[in-house]
């Protein structure tokens, strides 16, 4: 599967025909300019996504709990067999950890009530639409935080326009496919 993922990342036409897992495929393409070994590149892309999601998970736990609990929880996730498998295996399965990014952006938007965290939430939601299965997390998150999102959007017309434009630009390849 690692070689198939690498070969799909090298063909830009494949991106437009099948844009699912596009964030992973783009990172594999960028890393292929550094090293031209399919196994190393796909595994490095998975490790990067895994490490970033672990950092976001730690911050997300720190929103809810104290430092000790967030460190222990992050260590438990980081040493779990499931996490170690998807973070080292060169496949787009690691993108399933993107739910932590959307959750962290949504909690930041909820706490700050400014337009920047809300814009990052919309951008991360648009990127997560490329990940199979994430549409359900986004749908339930919008139902859950709808009132807070509308409150921030009402405060600034430019936030509405910026969020809609960024969302549409990111989702455009999905519409093309």
- The answer, yes or no, to whether residue 129 has pLDDT greater than 80, is yes
The pTM assigned to this predicted structure is 0.86
- How far, in Å, CA of 166 to CA of 72, rounded? 36
- The answer, yes or no, to whether residue 3 has pLDDT greater than 90, is no
Task: Report percent pLDDT > 70 for the chain.
Answer: 99
8-state DSSP, 35:
-
- How far, in Å, CA of 7 to CA of 42, rounded? 10
Q: For residue 57, what are the CA distances in angstroms to 37, 60, 80, 85?
A: 30, 5, 14, 17
Q: Greater confidence, 22 or 175? A: 22
The alpha carbon torsion through 103, 108, 111, 115 (nearest 10 deg) reads -120
Range from 16-20, 80-84, 111-115, 141-145 carrying the lowest mean pLDDT = 111-115
- The answer, yes or no, to whether residue 145 has pLDDT greater than 70, is yes
* Mean pLDDT, the chain, integer: 88
- The answer, yes or no, to whether residue 160 has pLDDT greater than 90, is no
Quote the pLDDT of residue 141.
82
- The answer, yes or no, to whether residue 154 has pLDDT greater than 90, is no
Quote the pLDDT of residue 137.
87
Q: How far is CA 64 from the centre of its chain?
A: 21
- How far, in Å, CA of 145 to CA of 140, rounded? 9
Quote the pLDDT of residue 166.
85
- The answer, yes or no, to whether residue 89 has pLDDT greater than 70, is yes
Which tens digits make up the pLDDT trace of 43-78?
999 999 999 999 999 999 998 999 999 999 999 999
- The answer, yes or no, to whether residue 32 has pLDDT greater than 90, is yes
Going by pLDDT thresholds of 50, 70 and 90, the confidence category of residue 113 is low
């Amino acid at each position: 599967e690692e070689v198939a993922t690498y070969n799909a990342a090298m063909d830009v036409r494949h991106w437009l025909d099948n844009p699912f897992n596009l964030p992973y495929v783009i990172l594999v393409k960028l890393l292929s300019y550094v090293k031209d070994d399919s196994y190393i590149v796909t595994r490095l892309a998975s490790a990067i996504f895994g490490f970033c999601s672990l950092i976001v998970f730690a911050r997300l736990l720190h929103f809810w709990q104290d430092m000790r609990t967030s460190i222990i929880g992050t260590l438990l996730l980081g040493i779990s067999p499931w996490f170690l498998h998807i973070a080292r295996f060169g496949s787009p399965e690691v993108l399933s950890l993107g739910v932590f990014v959307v959750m962290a952006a949504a909690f930041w938007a909820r706490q700050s009530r400014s337009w920047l965290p809300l814009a990052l939430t919309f951008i991360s939601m648009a990127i997560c639409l490329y990940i199979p299965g994430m549409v359900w997390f986004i749908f339930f998150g919008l139902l859950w935080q709808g009132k807070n999102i509308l409150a921030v959007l009402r405060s600034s017309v430019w936030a509405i326009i910026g969020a809609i434009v960024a969302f549409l630009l990111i989702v455009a390849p999905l519409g093309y496919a």
